[in-house]
Structure 1
């Protein structure tokens, strides 16, 4: 990291004023950590639940007398001039304040699109934390902001930006990307003595208690280290053995779509392989069949659930690359100086075993305003979409939910224009109703969904299709 050199030598300004929309878990960490960064201040937090906004500052140990609730632009301006921290339930006023960069963390795709539009109209940089918006219109927003001399960027601290940067670094030094991906936050903890595998509780993701499966003696062999040439067999067996544990969710696929559109990496299959793997099994399985793995080719993207003993290191919901060098001497360096290889050391895995969410997001905020650069990839294209399939019969009038909608499963499909029988992007569905009965197993298409009368998200999606697909 050499941000200190970049900021000291090339910064366009000495300090960054931030407006945050969304005082949830992610946004709160941005606020709490900002107090230890001399380069930026989060001047205002907006949230429909005003207590969430206040709590963001309270978690940063800011006393209530320094927190000012404002409902109008004039009130907010006056409070900031007095050195107060502003909270509001009216996020639109942020865009008329003397703010450099807006951090969008609502988690609502329509709200994210609306705020991006306001940022463009009011010449504000945007750090897009709302992956749901980015998965639908991220490529066109990146282009529209660039055309105005503004920055639109994914956020340091979340897996997409972390992996984008890791891919760019590997390509910069001349490594070949065999595969890449993210590790799910939830992990499978194997207790050989008890004969169990446990997924820890995660209340925020709807898992209030640990989920445990008992492992039979017959099945236990498939939780041992994967033998050479047995990757596909062991993945299939583990998938069956561990099927009662929480699995890959829509938000995981959402992030994979973002990464694929920004890096040119492609899914091997539409549902991804979703391997339950130890870190040192990743290079054995997640490489091409030519190198003893399961992929049909190279440049693939996927997801793992980290399988480990309790005492072993966690992947921390981090990211990984499987790489190789075209030069034999360089390849030997990779596998003899710390990287874990496959059985013949023809490929090796690089792990980034953490993502620190809002604690490390300041680098994206500073880079946007002070350096005029994003912290994502070199180029964004519209190559893939996150789409949905009905898992049960759904009657007309069914309200479509978000990534946790249990009526639907997610998968990744090639990008397609708006047309009756084409799959509709998952986050265009949110809050809209089905206008016909949909049979279980059917892909949700445009002609099945009631289009909203007015939607910034849908409008921007149309612009993206014209720019990239027509």
Structure 2
């Protein structure tokens, strides 16, 4: 609990953490509003393809124009202002920058930037969980080999869940399940950027529809983002997916320990040691009081009668048997909390969650009947949603990763609800993301399990 003290030491020494941020979207802008106020941090450069938008976002985040008036990265280092550019590669090449924050949200782009940051000896905070779900285990391994840190982004739910799992294990508890809340109904898997408003209007009032990206927002609705984020958690903690992926059982925060335990014990889960996402509405699409739509949780076991008695005495939230209990965080603040990751990697050389193996995958699943010749449009689009699957099942069946189901053409008809395979689409073997993904599959497949364990 001494990150701020370490930041203050860096500030006093005139040697702040020097940061390069790629992407001025929602997450990036939330970080922008805090980094300028954080002792011991200096945002040297901000890269975005739309420089005018980046300047506008800085203004929205409360920056004065003088604070981002640097004429170059060198000028930014001298004046402690921020340089805005459309050239992300220049941030990687700047020797003085310590940490790269990748916040583009595009898996192909994110993989390229992560590899470049690693090659240039920089720590990387991977806001881009889509890239992490596609190839994070390999990227993390390459970072370790290069002596730098690859980290999930604190403030986003996967890193927070990883912290809760780590807390439970460090306290000697067996983790039964971990995950988050969301708004889910089985019909939402068919949602697309046009119909998503029918769902959003039921619980959100969005007066300016131009203010959000419906394709991006739809990935939260159709189940994709949940699959991506729980894959990141599995790969960083050693928890595993359930055989059929997420079940999205309805539950309030007070029912977590009863619902998120194995079916053999009266719960909704296939087994212990898995991820799950609970829904804030029931199967009749009625709101559940005291839901956890924005929060995270861990369910753990008291393996002695004394521990279970303590659960009751100290007002935890045990299940009806008293054997299991839940700890939850009611919300998350995404980019407003990202500085924790930046400080942790730079000052402690420690990630706030990082892949340790390839346990989970996100596979492309047809939203509707698809026809040969159609071009897939990726996450949050009209064609596919992302379903969590055990990694080895995905490898054995040759399933198509969701992160590669964008701008690829179908070779055959696919029925609604079917999982797509590599053989169903035309892929470019020379594409960087395809090459990195194939390298990861070769490195982390079952035939390599013995070598990985050693």
- Aligned residue in 2 for 1:181: 179
Decide whether aligned partners of structure 1 residues 333 and 7 sit closer, same or farther in structure 2, where only a CA change above 3 A counts: farther
- Aligned residue in 2 for 1:433: 409
Contact 2:395 2:441 in 1 (8 A): no
Matched residues in 2 for 1:462 and 1:310: separation?
A: 42
Contact 1:249 1:403 in 2 (8 A): no
- Asked whether 1:324 is paired with 2:301, we answer yes
Decide whether aligned partners of structure 1 residues 398 and 278 sit closer, same or farther in structure 2, where only a CA change above 3 A counts: same
Decide whether aligned partners of structure 1 residues 136 and 278 sit closer, same or farther in structure 2, where only a CA change above 3 A counts: same
- Asked whether 1:384 is paired with 2:375, we answer no
Q: Deviation at 1:101?
A: 0.5
- Aligned residue in 1 for 2:339: 362
Matched residues in 1 for 2:97 and 2:48: separation?
A: 17
Higher helix share: 2
- Asked whether 1:286 is paired with 2:260, we answer yes
- Cα RMSD (Å): 3.0
Unaligned runs of 5+ residues in structure 1 are 189-202, 213-245
Contact 2:222 2:380 in 1 (8 A): no
Matched residues in 2 for 1:416 and 1:310: separation?
A: 36
Deviation string, structure 1 residues 294-322 (Cα, Å, up to 9, x no partner): 32321121101235999965635111111
Q: Deviation at 1:10?
A: 11
- Equivalent in 402, 426, 435 of residue 378 of structure 2: 402
Q: Deviation at 1:467?
A: 2.0
- Aligned residue in 1 for 2:120: 122
- Aligned residue in 2 for 1:163: 161
- Asked whether 1:267 is paired with 2:241, we answer yes
Decide whether aligned partners of structure 1 residues 290 and 439 sit closer, same or farther in structure 2, where only a CA change above 3 A counts: closer
Q: Deviation at 1:47?
A: 1.1
Decide whether aligned partners of structure 1 residues 421 and 270 sit closer, same or farther in structure 2, where only a CA change above 3 A counts: closer
3-state SS, counterpart of residue 323 of structure 1: strand
Matched residues in 2 for 1:398 and 1:341: separation?
A: 50
- Aligned residue in 1 for 2:389: 413
Deviation string, structure 1 residues 187-238 (Cα, Å, up to 9, x no partner): 89xxxxxxxxxxxxxx9995475227xxxxxxxxxxxxxxxxxxxxxxxxxx
Decide whether aligned partners of structure 1 residues 275 and 47 sit closer, same or farther in structure 2, where only a CA change above 3 A counts: same
Decide whether aligned partners of structure 1 residues 385 and 395 sit closer, same or farther in structure 2, where only a CA change above 3 A counts: same
Decide whether aligned partners of structure 1 residues 321 and 79 sit closer, same or farther in structure 2, where only a CA change above 3 A counts: closer
- Equivalent in 233, 239, 249 of residue 223 of structure 2: 249
Contact 2:17 2:42 in 1 (8 A): yes
3-state SS, counterpart of residue 301 of structure 1: strand
Contact 1:278 1:307 in 2 (8 A): no
Decide whether aligned partners of structure 1 residues 335 and 204 sit closer, same or farther in structure 2, where only a CA change above 3 A counts: farther
Q: Deviation at 1:6?
A: 6.2
Deviation string, structure 1 residues 9-55 (Cα, Å, up to 9, x no partner): 99999521111111001001111111221021222111112233112
- Aligned residue in 1 for 2:3: 3
- Aligned residue in 2 for 1:210: 201
Matched residues in 2 for 1:94 and 1:87: separation?
A: 10
Decide whether aligned partners of structure 1 residues 368 and 351 sit closer, same or farther in structure 2, where only a CA change above 3 A counts: same
Deviation string, structure 1 residues 150-180 (Cα, Å, up to 9, x no partner): 0000010001010011101100110111111
Q: Deviation at 1:268?
A: 2.9
Contact 1:271 1:410 in 2 (8 A): no
Unaligned runs of 5+ residues in structure 2 are 186-192, 204-219, 448-454
Structure showing greater Rg: 1
Contact 1:420 1:446 in 2 (8 A): no
3-state SS, counterpart of residue 277 of structure 1: coil
